[in-house]
Amino acid sequence: MRRRAAIALGLFMGVAVLAAAGMRASAESGTLAPQPPKGRGEHCVADTDFMRRNHMKMLLGHRSEAVRLGVRTQQYDLNGCVDCHAVAGADGRPVSFDSPQHFCRSCHTYAAVSIDCFECHASRPQAPGKAAAVQPGDKEVAAISQYLRDVGQ
C-alpha cells in the first residue's frame, strides 16, 4: 500500500514539475500561466488578449478565404505569424514545432490542445528566396485561377 502511494506521489510530482517548467507566475494574477516569447515586431496584427482568444478563428477565416476564394492577404497569414514569433534554438536557428521552445507549443501544451497547422505548413521561417515561385505560363496555376474565378461568381 505504501509503495503504491509513493509511486502515485512520485508521478504526481513529476507531472507537476513538468507542467511548471513551461510556465511562470503571471504578474497580474499570481497564477501559473504560459508565458510565450514576445514577437519580433512592434505589435501584433491585433491586440494580444484578442489574439489569445481568437487566433484560431482568424487563421481559419484566412484559410477559407485563401483556399476557397483565392483571396490572399498578409494580415492573418500563418507565414507572418511564424516569421515574427520564431524562437531561436541553441544553434541560433529557428526551432521547429517539434521543440518545446516553439512559440505555439507553450500555450497549446498548457491547454492540451492539439495543433495540426504544421502538418502542411512550415513551423519555422523559410530562408529568403526559398519560397516556391510560380512560373509565368504555368497551366496548372492558370486552371486553378480560372476555377476560383468561376466559383466566386
Confidence band for 91, pLDDT divided at 50, 70 and 90? very high
CB contact at 8 A, 46 and 57: no
**Separation CA 13–CA 28 (nearest Å):** 26
**pTM for the model:** 0.58
Q: Which residues contact 22 (CB under 8 A, 6 or more apart)?
A: 34, 100, 106, 109, 110
Higher pLDDT, 16 or 119: 119
Q: What is the dihedral of CA 66, 70, 74, 80, to 10 degrees?
A: 40
DSSP state of 66: I
For the record, the C-alpha cell of 22 comes out as 513551461
Q: pLDDT tens for residues 27-41?
A: 555 667 788 888 887
Amino acid identity for residue 125 in this structure = P
